[in-house]
Amino acid sequence: MSAAEQTAEQKKFNMDTVANAAATPQTELPWAELGLKHNEFEEVVKVLGRRPTAAELAMYSVMWSEHCSYKSSKNHLRQFGDKVTEEMKKDMLVGIGENAGVTNLGDGWAVTFKIESHNSPTMIEPYQGAATGIGGIVRDIISMGARPVAVMDPLRFGAIDHPDTARVIHGAVAGIGGYGNSLGLPNIGGEVVFDSVYQGNPLVNALAVGIMRHEDIRLANASGLGNKVVLFGARTGGDGIGGASILSSESFDDTKPSKRPAVQVGDPFAEKVLIECCLELFKGSLVEGIQDLGAAGISCATSELASNGDGGMDIELTSVLLRDPSLTPGEILMSESQERMMAVVSPQNVAAFEAVMDKWAVEYSWLGEVTDTNRLVIKWDGEVIVDVDPRTVAHDGPVYDRPYARPQWQDALQADTFKASAAGQNLPATGAELRAALVELMASPNMCSKDWVTNQYDRYVGGNTALATPDDAGVIRVDEETGMGVALATDANGRYTYLDPYHGAQLALSESYRNVATSGAIPLAVSDCLNFGSPEDPDVMWQLAEAIRGLSDACMELGVPVTGGNVSLYNQTGTTAIHPTPVVAMLGKFDDIARRTPSGWRADADGQAIYLLGTTFDELDGSEFANIRGHLGGMPPKVDLAAEKTLGAILINASRDGMIDSAHDLSEGGLGAALGEMALRYGVGARVALDDLCERDGVDAFTALFSESQARAVVAVPRSEEVRFNDMATARQFPVVRLGVVDAASTSLEVQGQFDLDLAELREAHEATLPKYFG
């Protein structure tokens, strides 16, 4: 179809112009079907001083959705910006509010990273839902002017043996792999958790990290009168219309758009070309402002660019290149078709911009220009169909103080401790029982090897991956000359957060901090993805409020600022919400990644001393051990941020000074799981004894092996460094106990006086679980 025919076809729509809207105030509009509440629709009318046009209504409905406006969480999220010291701001080059935060790395380098959710689309269509989650977060990173260098994905699925779990995990993992692998981005870590609470609401979060030179930082704003606005990348189609609204649990009825899939369809090749094309634009300084098209598509890009700029914007919507010529203006504005970017280009750079597009064979169309009217004006073949103050669309959406209250059941839940429960009786006590319990733990869905998942991802591409799953953190080299690099870890524990949202969120932060420090990196900044149920349920709203309060308090204490993130609400089926799951992504920095610490000992570590750092308490509530026995109650492990800080400093300094050759943090599964994982990492055995630990901390062997006390790590120390290492821990008054030695001649993990566990048997149990269920 020619452009002229296309325009003629489009003209057949009954255009609802601004003039028409002003003349026909009584026209009924489908605001409820588009997900707006009555008070919100009235607010739109008040803002405009008239009824909105159909196109304006479409824009407001998506931009004021929960997903885009954060209307339920905004009042609480402010704490991330408020609880920040000057020291924490020191390295923050760009904070919350832009596409992604930017942190200084030194030597002129900067890093940007962000984590987002793609939960609902993945439930509906696992492959495309998960794939486009990667695509979206990668475009956020490009929008900042950075080259994406790695991705990670924390995943949470329903029960491992539920038939629908296989559908979701096969699709989601293949989608993440299919998309991410095609972009040439190593996937360096994440999590895989199974719990029936996620049965109808799997959590698929995606993180991307990018690096750039300071001068390359780009922001999403449209400034400079007369500058041109261009849309480039894939064509706009009917996919993903209302995606943001679905994410806000406000799905369409049986109107025209609802017949189309609300899940976007990804084209990784188009994205890969778009990445290279954008980097070439940045290198030539050919764009003044740039914004990716994600949720709410052109509505979001135009209103955010215009409201962040110093003027207004005039757009001709019929200039948008379409995949489907039957789309209405409202649909074009709402479409979430993937692999699209919008940029602002000064007139003198237009030719150079077009040359880059032509080189990479990327389609583009000039939509309009920056004005000085402070209005966002969108025309359809010359007729004005949108005339709004862009701030009212992008930033002045409704904000709710949702009622919240501590759930009535919370006290009973916390009183139901594991060891007092029926499930907590007949605990393993003999060596044989402890051995069997450890094998069962290491084979359990949450503790088993995740190779089935991670082997479907390319972790090597780029040649800069220094550590990846199953190590504690993913580590990427940034500068080949100096060896400077970054470490990333993502963590969350929905069970802990369910038991105590305030401390549960802090435990997620603690673990991610510990993981990054264990790899040897200095923790620098946080991005968070807050996955919760419906904010309209006061119980859930309390969980959210408590988690944000806890997380922001702890970030302040650890001195790591939140630079961005995402809130995903309405993750619930009927009245049953998921466990509150605040996923914390921690970014750390290495001056030289040659000093990174792997999570297991190699054969050449024979004879190295194995130490446990930290104190072991009787903390089994909410643990993996209790989970295997089907119990969830009591209080999660105690948060001790001061201890986390000291432990982190010890691990980082010991790594830098060559005092430790391997280290692994203790988290889910406790010491037993940590020792098992360290031995399996390179298949090298060890001999340890628990007696000194049990005597010092007043715990039995079972508690020593399976308690999930925080602020602990196991390290392997070369004999020559033992004195120095002990002195350092003592100087910091941090508890340390020698457990045993690495034994390269041994093929087992021997816990003296308790059991001898053959590594081949342990590996078999550890690695068989996912293939058994998923093929």
Active site residues per annotation? 67, 118
Question: Shortest distance, CB of residue 455 to other proteins, whole angstroms?
Answer: 5
Q: Which of residues 354-413 bind other proteins (CB under 8 A)?
A: 360-361
458 binds other proteins (CB under 8 A): yes
Residue 249 is assigned to a ligand binding site: no
266 binds other proteins (CB under 8 A): no
Judged by CB under 8 A, which stretch of 458-466, 507-515, 528-536, 568-576 contacts other proteins?
458-466
Q: Which residues contact 508 (CB under 8 A, 6 or more apart)?
A: 491, 492, 493, 496, 497, 551, 582, 583, 584
Calculate the CA dihedral of residues 326, 331, 336, 337 and round it to 10 degrees: 10
Instruction: Using alpha carbons, list the distances in angstroms from residue 678 to 517, 602, 762, 774.
Output: 17, 9, 12, 26
Question: Shortest distance, CB of residue 596 to other proteins, whole angstroms?
Answer: 8
Residue 687 is assigned to a ligand binding site: no
Kindly tell me which of 11 and 213 has the beta carbon lying closer to other proteins: 213
For the chain, the maximum distance between any two Cα atoms, rounded to a whole number of angstroms, is 88
Closest CA to 744 of 682, 694, 688: 682
Q: Is 412 exposed, middle or buried (0-12, 13-18, 19+ CB in 10 A)?
A: exposed
Residue 70 is assigned to a ligand binding site: yes
470 binds other proteins (CB under 8 A): no
Instruction: Using alpha carbons, list the distances in angstroms from residue 77 to 239, 361, 549, 553.
Output: 31, 41, 9, 12
Binding test (CB under 8 A) with other proteins, winner from 446, 465, 543, 599: 465
Residue reference for tokens 């709004």: 388
481 binds other proteins (CB under 8 A): yes
Q: Are 570 and 534 in contact (CB under 8 A)?
A: yes
The token pair at 528 is 């968070």
* Rg of the chain in Å (alpha carbons): 27
479 binds other proteins (CB under 8 A): yes
Residue reference for tokens 């008054």: 733
Residue 191 is assigned to a ligand binding site: no
d(CA 30, CA 57): 9
d(CA 3, CA 8): 9
456 binds other proteins (CB under 8 A): yes
Question: Shortest distance, CB of residue 458 to other proteins, whole angstroms?
Answer: 5
Residue 42, helix vs strand vs coil: helix
Binding test (CB under 8 A) with other proteins, winner from 398, 431, 462, 538: 462
Residue 338 is assigned to a ligand binding site: yes
Around Cβ 603, how many Cβ atoms within 10 Å? 12
Kindly tell me which of 139 and 459 has the beta carbon lying closer to other proteins: 459
467 binds other proteins (CB under 8 A): yes
Specify the amino acid at residue 560: V
What is the distance, to the nearest Å, from the Cα of residue 419 to the centroid of all Cα atoms in its chain?
A: 34
Residue reference for tokens 């058994």: 772
477 binds other proteins (CB under 8 A): yes
d(CA 450, CA 384): 54
The token pair at 446 is 């949450």
Judged by CB under 8 A, which stretch of 44-52, 59-67, 175-183, 754-762 contacts other proteins?
175-183
Binding test (CB under 8 A) with other proteins, winner from 3, 196, 269, 658: 269
Residue reference for tokens 């090897």: 449
695 binds other proteins (CB under 8 A): no
Please provide the distance, in angstroms rounded to a whole number, between the alpha carbons at the two ends of the chain. Answer: 46
Judged by CB under 8 A, which stretch of 53-61, 179-187, 240-248, 491-499 contacts other proteins?
179-187
594 binds other proteins (CB under 8 A): yes
Kindly tell me which of 462 and 538 has the beta carbon lying closer to other proteins: 462
d(CA 126, CA 104): 36
Helix 501-518 to helix 641-656 angle (10° resolution) is 10
Binding test (CB under 8 A) with other proteins, winner from 164, 280, 536, 691: 280
276 binds other proteins (CB under 8 A): yes
268 binds other proteins (CB under 8 A): yes
Helix 538-558 to helix 501-518 angle (10° resolution) is 40
User: What backbone phi and psi angles, to 5 degrees, belong to 315?
Assistant: -125, 140
Instruction: Using alpha carbons, list the distances in angstroms from residue 587 to 216, 464, 560, 753.
Output: 20, 16, 9, 41
Judged by CB under 8 A, which stretch of 102-110, 191-199, 288-296, 381-389 contacts other proteins?
102-110
Judged by CB under 8 A, which stretch of 21-29, 264-272, 550-558, 751-759 contacts other proteins?
264-272
Question: Shortest distance, CB of residue 483 to other proteins, whole angstroms?
Answer: 9
Binding test (CB under 8 A) with other proteins, winner from 51, 156, 435, 459: 459
Kindly tell me which of 87 and 481 has the beta carbon lying closer to other proteins: 481
Residue 515 is assigned to a ligand binding site: no
d(CA 757, CA 30): 66
Peptide linkage before 202 cis (omega within 30 of 0): no
Residue 565 is assigned to a ligand binding site: yes
Question: Shortest distance, CB of residue 195 to other proteins, whole angstroms?
Answer: 24
Binding test (CB under 8 A) with other proteins, winner from 682, 734, 747, 763: 682
Residue reference for tokens 């209302």: 242
Q: Can you name the residues that pair with 584 across neighbouring β-strands?
A: 491, 528
450 binds other proteins (CB under 8 A): no
Kindly tell me which of 463 and 630 has the beta carbon lying closer to other proteins: 463
Kindly tell me which of 467 and 517 has the beta carbon lying closer to other proteins: 467
d(CA 524, CA 433): 42
Around Cβ 4, how many Cβ atoms within 10 Å? 8
352 binds other proteins (CB under 8 A): no
Specify the amino acid at residue 424: G
Residue 566 is assigned to a ligand binding site: yes
Kindly tell me which of 19 and 768 has the beta carbon lying closer to other proteins: 768
480 binds other proteins (CB under 8 A): yes
Kindly tell me which of 382 and 775 has the beta carbon lying closer to other proteins: 775
Judged by CB under 8 A, which stretch of 268-276, 422-430, 574-582, 714-722 contacts other proteins?
268-276
Kindly tell me which of 417 and 482 has the beta carbon lying closer to other proteins: 482
Kindly tell me which of 206 and 593 has the beta carbon lying closer to other proteins: 593
Q: What is the arrangement of strands in the sheet containing 187-194, beginning at the earlier edge strand?
A: 92-94, 101-106, 109-117, 203-213, 147-157, 187-194
Residue 264 is assigned to a ligand binding site: yes
Residue 528 is assigned to a ligand binding site: yes
Contact string (CB under 8 A) for other proteins, positions 406-445, x = contact: ----------------------------------------
Residues within the annotated binding site for Mg(2+)? 116, 140, 292, 566
Q: Residues within the annotated binding site for substrate?
A: 139, 264, 336-338, 568
Q: Can you give the binding site for other proteins, defined by CB under 8 A?
A: 107-109, 147, 174, 177-178, 181-184, 211-213, 216, 267-270, 272-273, 276, 279-280, 283, 360-361, 454-467, 477, 479-481, 593-594, 598, 682
